[in-house]
Amino acid sequence: MVSLSHFIHLQKSHCSSCAYHAARKRTYNWSLKLYNVHRRFLDNFRERTEATPRKKRVASA
DSSP 28-57: --HHHHHHHHHHHHHTTT--S-PPPPPPPP
- Top-confidence range, 5-9, 14-18, 21-25, 39-43: 39-43
In a domain, 59, yes or no: no
Q: Quote the pLDDT of residue 4.
A: 57
pLDDT exceeding 90 applies to what percent of the chain? Answer: 15
Give the range of the structural domain holding residue 30, as residue numbers without chain letter: 4-42
- To the question of pTM greater than 0.75 for the whole model, the response is no
Share of the chain above pLDDT 70, in %: 79
Residue 47 lies in a domain: no
Amino acid at 49: T
Residue 34 lies in a domain: yes
What's the structural domain count of the chain? 1
